[in-house]
Amino acid sequence: MIILLAIAIGSLFGGATYLILRRSVVKLILGLIMLSHGVNLLIFTMGDGVRRGGPPLVDASGQPPAGSADPLVQALILTAIVISFGFTAFVLALAYRSNQAAGSDDLDDLSTTDRL
């Protein structure tokens, strides 16, 4: 399972890097979304609580309840998903407005603030 997840995370990171290096703003944003998914999956694989002494949930015998997963990583991912959702909405709106203002979604055309 962990190997499958590792391959999935690697593919997401690779695809995200490729998309972020493209010149189109829309592809750049898609790359950012993929990157945040990759990181979320990575946190998911870090939830092997048993290895480190168990999640902070124990039954009367002091052992993690059978079949329970580490709840903390899920809370972390949930937080990260909400945050990246908000930011994605913001970046999309920003890209739309900058496309309106500059008349282009090619990053090479969006360089007026760097010119001397």
Partner 1 sequence: MTFHLFIPIVSPLIGAALAVLLHRQWVVVRALTLISVLINLGYGLWLMSVVPQSGPLVAQASGWLAPFGISLVADGMSALMVMLAALLMLTTVVYSFYSVDREREAHFYYPLLLLLLLGVSGAFLTGDLFNLYVWFEVLLVASFGLITLGGSREQLEGGLKYVVLNLLGSTAFLFGCGLMYGFAGTLNMAHIAERMATLADPGLQTVLAGVFLFAFGSKAAIVPLFFWLPSSYHTPPVAVTAIFSGLMTKVGVYSLYRVFGLLLQNELAIYAPWITLIAGLTMVIGVLGAVAQMNVRRILSFHIISQIGYSVMGLGLASAAGLAAGLVFTAHVMIVKMALFFIGGAAEQINGTGDLKKMGGLARREPLLALFWFLGILSLAGIPPLSGFIGKLILLQVGVSQQAYLITAVAAGTSILTFFSMLKIWNEVFWKKSYEDVNRLPRVRFGLLAPGAALVILSVALGLVAGPLVEYNTIAGQQLFDRAAYITAVCGADGCEAVYRAAVK
Q: Considering the rule CB under 8 A, would residue 12 count as an interface residue with partner 1?
A: no
CB of 49 to partner 1, least distance (A): 7
CB of 48 to partner 1, least distance (A): 7
Ramachandran region, residue 104 (left: φ > 0; alpha: ψ -120 to 50; beta: rest)? beta
Closest among 24, 37, 18, 22 to 95, alpha carbons compared? 24
Provide the token pair at 82.
Answer: 């909400």
Q: 50 to 89, contacts with partner 1 by CB under 8 A? A: 52-54, 56, 58, 62, 72-73, 76, 79-80, 83, 86-87
How far apart, in whole angstroms, are the C-alpha atoms of residue 15 and residue 6? 14
Question: CA separation (Å) from 9 to 17, 25, 62?
Answer: 12, 23, 34
- Which position among 18, 59, 90, 106 is part of the footprint of partner 1 (CB under 8 A)? 90
Binding site for partner 1 (CB under 8 A): 20, 25, 28, 32, 35-36, 39, 42-43, 45-49, 52-54, 56, 58, 62, 72-73, 76, 79-80, 83, 86-87, 90-91, 94-95, 97-98, 101-102, 110-114, 116
